[in-house]
Amino acid sequence: MKKNLAVVSLVSLVSLVLSLFVLYTPQPVSGDSAFSAVNAASYISEISRDPHSLSDEEAHEVVHDYLKDKLEEFVGVANVQEMNYTAEQVGDDCEYPISNLLATIPGTSETGIMLVAHYDSRGHIGRSGELGRSYGAADDGYGLATLLEIARLYGNRTLSNSIYILMTDGEEVGLYGARMAAQETALMDKVGFIINVEARGVQGAAYMFETSVNNDKVIDFYKNAQMPVSYSLATAVYTVMPNYTDFTEFLAIGKQGVNFAVLDGLYYYHTPFDNYTNIHLNSIQHYGEQIVPLVEEFVTDAQYADVDFFVGTHNQVFFNLLPGVFVAYPDTLAIVFNFILIALFIGLIVFLVMKKQLRLLGLLKSFGFLMGGIVASVLVGLFASKLMAFFGKVPWSLTYVRMQGTELPTLLIMLGTLVGLGFLVRKFLKTKEDKVSLMLAGIGFNLLLATATGFILSGASFLFFIPALCGIVSLILDTFVKNTMVKHMAFSQNLLWNTVILVPILFSLFLALTVGGLLALLLILTLFASIMIPSVFLQLEIGK
Ligand SMILES: [Zn+2]
C-alpha cells in the first residue's frame, strides 16, 4: 500500500511538472542574426508612445509614418506602398480616411505568404467596463513588431516565393483596412497563405487560435513552427462563433491561413495598461519562433507557388501533448478511432459482466453518480463565478468577467472540487467493482461526447477521446494482465496523459473565458476526474 502511494505520488508530481511546461515561452533573443524580441521591443517603444486610434489623428499619423520608414529601410523604398481610401470609399459609417501599408519582398514567384497586423490602437469606443484608450503596445504592437522583424530578416534575401507584409488601418473600429485590402483582387489573387498576428492580452504563450476551414493542409504546414501552441478546440469554436479580427475579412474571401494571439493579461487589453512597461519579451519571441519557420518554409519551397496549395478537404484534430510535442490527425480518422474505442469499451463490459466482475445495475448507478457530480460541479462553477463578479462589482458573462485577482480563488475552487469528488468516491464507492463501474461510466460518457463532437465540432473531440482512450487502456491491462508492474504502468499512463492535457487546457480556457467560464472549467475537470480519480484509487489498491 505504501509502495503504491509512493508510485502514485511520483507519477502525479512528474505529470504536474510536465504539464506546467507545455505553455512554456522562449527566452528573448538579441542581435540581428535571428528574430529578436529585443529589436521588436525597440519598435514597440516608438509605436506605443501615445494612443494612436483612428480618432487620435496626430499620433495615428506619426505611427503610420514610422512604420512606413522602417519598412522602407528593411525592404527598399520601391517595395513599400500606401493603399489609401477615403471615408466614402470605405463606407459602412467610417469617419476617417484609411491608409494601409503594404511591403513586398518579391520572390521568383509572385505567389506569396501575407503577414497581417493592424496599426491603429483601441480608442474610447468599447464594451462596458473598459477604461480609456490603449497605447497599443501589445495590441497590436506585438503584431507590428513581429512583421518588422520579418521584414528586416527577409528584406535582402533571394526568395523562391514572395512575402507580402500588410499593416492595416482601422481594425479596432470596423476592420476597415482589412476589408478594403481583401477587395484588392490583383493583390489577393497572389496570396497563398495568410498569417494574422494579434494580441488579446500581454503575456504568456502566443497561441495559434484560429485557422481557415478545412485546415488539413494548413495544419501540416503549421507543424513547421518551433514550439507550436495550439488546440483544435479553439479553432473549432472559432469557426462557429462570430469573431472580429482582420483575419475574418480574409476568410470571407476564401483565403487559407492562421491567426495568432497571446491571451494572458486580458485585464490589460484595450486599456491604458496596454503600454510599453507591460510588454513581455518572451511572448514576442514566441510569435517569432512560430512564425519565422513558417515564412522560411513558404519562401524556400517552390511547391507553394501554387496559390491554391492550402485549399483543404477536411479538418485536423490537434493539441499540445508535452512541451514542444504537437499531435495532429485527420478528423475522419478521429471518427474511426472513436468507433474502435466504442467496440473495445462494449467488449470489456461484456467480458466483465460474463466473468461476474461487473453488474449492469452497478454500472447504471455509477452513471447516476457521475451525472450528479457533473451537475453539482457545474452549479458550483456558476455560483462561484457569479459571486466573484458580484464582489468585484463587474457584469457577469460566461465568456468575460473583467476582474483582477481571480486566479487564486479559481485554482482553489478547482482543487476543492477535485478533492471533494475524490472524497465522495472514497466514501461511497467501497469495492473494486464500484470503482471500475465509475471509471466505465466516465469512459462511456466521454465516448458519447467524443462521438457527438466528432460529427459536429471535430476539433473538440480529443478533449473527450483522450481520457476515454487512456481509461480503456488502463482497464484492459488491469483486467487481463496479472503483473503488478504492468498494472502500475496501466494506471500511471492514465494519470500522466490526462494531466498533461488537462492542466494547460484549463489554464488556456481560463485565460480565454476569464472566471465567467468557471462552470465550463469545472465541467471539463469533472469529465477528466471521472476517469482519473477511480484510476488513482485502483492503482492504490494494486496487490490488495
Ligand atoms: Zn487587435
- In angstroms, what is the span from residue 287 Cα to ligand 1's centroid? 15
Amino acid in the structure at residue 326: F
Distance CA 235, CA 218 (A): 12
Q: Are 434 and 357 contacting, i.e. CB atoms less than 8 angstroms apart?
A: no
End-to-end Cα spacing for the chain = 8
pLDDT tens, position by position, 423-455: 999 999 999 999 999 999 999 999 999 999 999
- Per-residue HEC secondary structure of 276-301 comes to HHHCCHHHHHHHHHHHHHHHHHHHHC
- In angstroms, what is the span from residue 119 Cα to ligand 1's centroid? 9
- In angstroms, what is the span from residue 124 Cα to ligand 1's centroid? 14
Give the closest residue to 352 by CA, choosing from 363, 365, 342, 341: 363
- In angstroms, what is the span from residue 371 Cα to ligand 1's centroid? 41
- In angstroms, what is the span from residue 389 Cα to ligand 1's centroid? 26
- In angstroms, what is the span from residue 269 Cα to ligand 1's centroid? 9
- In angstroms, what is the span from residue 532 Cα to ligand 1's centroid? 39
Q: What is the pLDDT of residue 125?
A: 57
Sign of CA dihedral 152, 158, 163, 165: positive
- In angstroms, what is the span from residue 267 Cα to ligand 1's centroid? 14
Q: What is the pLDDT along the chain (544 residues), one digit of tens a residue?
A: 689 999 999 999 999 999 999 999 999 999 999 999 999 999 999 999 999 999 999 999 999 999 999 999 999 999 999 999 999 999 988 999 999 999 999 999 999 999 999 999 998 754 445 567 899 999 999 999 999 999 999 999 999 999 999 999 999 999 999 999 999 999 999 999 999 999 999 999 999 999 999 999 999 999 999 999 999 999 988 877 777 899 999 999 999 999 999 999 988 888 899 999 999 999 999 999 999 999 999 999 999 999 999 999 999 999 999 998 999 999 999 999 999 999 999 999 999 999 999 999 999 999 999 999 999 999 999 999 999 999 999 999 998 888 889 999 999 999 999 999 999 999 999 999 999 999 999 999 999 999 999 999 999 999 999 999 999 999 999 999 999 999 999 999 999 999 999 999 999 999 999 999 999 999 999 999 999 999 999 999 998 8
Q: What is the pLDDT of residue 131?
A: 64
C-alpha dist (Å) from residue 283 to 41, 78, 121, 197, 247: 11, 32, 19, 12, 20
- The residue whose grid cell reads 487559407 is 256
- In angstroms, what is the span from residue 199 Cα to ligand 1's centroid? 6
- In angstroms, what is the span from residue 457 Cα to ligand 1's centroid? 27
Q: Which residues surround ligand 1, an ion (CB under 5 A)?
A: 139-140, 198
Angle, alpha carbons 251-335-519 (nearest 5°): 70
27: DSSP letter: P
Q: Are 323 and 24 contacting, i.e. CB atoms less than 8 angstroms apart?
A: yes
- In angstroms, what is the span from residue 295 Cα to ligand 1's centroid? 22
- In angstroms, what is the span from residue 197 Cα to ligand 1's centroid? 8
Q: What does 48-82 look like in DSSP terms, one character per residue?
A: TSS---TTSHHHHHHHHHHHHHHHHHHH-GGGEEE
Phi, psi of 484 (to 5 degrees): -70, -30
What is the reported pTM? 0.95
- In angstroms, what is the span from residue 172 Cα to ligand 1's centroid? 7
- In angstroms, what is the span from residue 120 Cα to ligand 1's centroid? 8
- The residue whose grid cell reads 496599426 is 119
Distance CA 450, CA 524 (A): 13
- In angstroms, what is the span from residue 155 Cα to ligand 1's centroid? 25
- In angstroms, what is the span from residue 23 Cα to ligand 1's centroid? 22
Distance CA 101, CA 138 (A): 19
- In angstroms, what is the span from residue 121 Cα to ligand 1's centroid? 7
Q: What is the pLDDT of residue 267?
A: 87
Q: What is the pLDDT of residue 127?
A: 47
- In angstroms, what is the span from residue 141 Cα to ligand 1's centroid? 9
Amino acid in the structure at residue 233: L
Q: In which element (H, E) is residue 186 found?
A: helix 185-188
- In angstroms, what is the span from residue 458 Cα to ligand 1's centroid? 28
Amino acid in the structure at residue 265: G
- In angstroms, what is the span from residue 514 Cα to ligand 1's centroid? 18
Q: What is the pLDDT of residue 128?
A: 47
- In angstroms, what is the span from residue 209 Cα to ligand 1's centroid? 14
Give the list of residues 6+ apart from residue 6 with CB closer than 8 angstroms, or none.
Answer: none
